[in-house]
Amino acid sequence: MLKTIFLHLVLLCLILSCSSVEKNPRAHNDSLNLFSQELRKLVSRKLRKRDGVVLWKDLKKENIEVFGNQDLLHQRFSPGSVAKLLTAELAVHKNKQLDYYCTGQGRLQNRRKVFCWNYHGHKRVQLHQAIAVSCNLYFLNLAEKLEFLEWKQNLDSYTALKNPSLQFSLQSQKDLKWALGEAEEMKWTPQETLYFWQEFISRLQQPEYEEIFLGLKQVAEKGGTAEALAEVSFEVLAKTGTIQGTQGLHEKNAWLLVAFPEKEPRFLMIIFLKRSRAYQQASDLAKEILLLVKKYETL
């Protein structure tokens, strides 16, 4: 009798475990669909009075999901501080990192006076901190130790950014604006930015990128340029970019690049907001999206 009950129990367990194996992928897909619907609702609510686009990429899938104004996807905008990643990358390849003290202003070798976006200065910064706080003076001083042509070669090493029509003027090379992503000629679309970010993230696994990895982590921590993301309970990699618009001081566009989980990222997100006044707006939107990710933790 006991033997029969035991056999029945084993059989029942087998049936239950089989059905749960069948059920899980469906539950997972439902959850992904719900997440996608909620994400669309969230972005359209947040972008009701603002022009912008959010690109979402699950590296386990082929397609990119686009939320917000789809027309912006293929329009070109200055990358601003996002392009400092190329400068940082060349610096680690050439082993030219600086130990720099930012007072908020300084002079380049040609005596030209330059200012950091933070007038109070960032104090002592090394490469990872310069990425975290996006210190302009660090990157301008770093650029003086780098070769523009090597920087351009590095840019061309990204399939998404390789553009033979992108000719830099001599002026851009001289005033080092390329190192800050502010050269007039340099313009990326949100889609190109996503593909660049994907390629950049894949290179981060190499040991020489350790300091850049640390910098990207600190962007999303307290004191970083996207510190709103510190309120999310999982760690992400991020880089901000703020670009002066053509319509005056308050007309600033903002980029925010996000990748997570921080080790071997699977999800990538690009937020581009037009005339967002400040990068905090993009960070706040990213924070809300990441809180949504947490809610659907089956991701």
- Nearer to Zn ion among residue 137 and residue 220 (C-beta): 137
- Nearer to Zn ion among residue 103 and residue 169 (C-beta): 103
- Nearer to Zn ion among residue 127 and residue 137 (C-beta): 137
- Nearer to Zn ion among residue 198 and residue 218 (C-beta): 218
Pick from 264, 256, 265: which is nearest to 288 by CA? 256
Nearest distance in Å: CB 209, Zn ion? 22
Nearest distance in Å: CB 86, Zn ion? 19
Binding site for Zn ion (CB under 5 A): 102, 116, 122, 135, 137
User: Is it true that the peptide bond before 261 is cis, omega within 30 degrees of 0?
Assistant: yes
Task: Return the half-sphere exposure (C-beta side, CA atoms, 13 A cut-off) of residue 166.
Answer: 19
Pick from 109, 108, 98, 86: which is nearest to 196 by CA? 86
Q: What is the spatial distance between Cα 142 and Cα 217, in angstroms, rounded to a whole number?
A: 21
Nearest distance in Å: CB 125, Zn ion? 7
Nearest distance in Å: CB 124, Zn ion? 10
Q: What is the spatial distance between Cα 130 and Cα 117, in angstroms, rounded to a whole number?
A: 12
Nearest distance in Å: CB 218, Zn ion? 15
Q: What is the dihedral of CA 84, 89, 90, 96, to 10 degrees?
A: 100
Q: What is the spatial distance between Cα 219 and Cα 197, in angstroms, rounded to a whole number?
A: 15
How many Cβ atoms are within 10 Å of 172's Cβ, its own excluded?
17
Q: What is the dihedral of CA 155, 156, 157, 161, to 10 degrees?
A: 80
- Nearer to Zn ion among residue 138 and residue 260 (C-beta): 138
Nearest distance in Å: CB 221, Zn ion? 18
- Nearer to Zn ion among residue 191 and residue 240 (C-beta): 240
By the 8 A CB rule, do 68 and 53 touch? yes
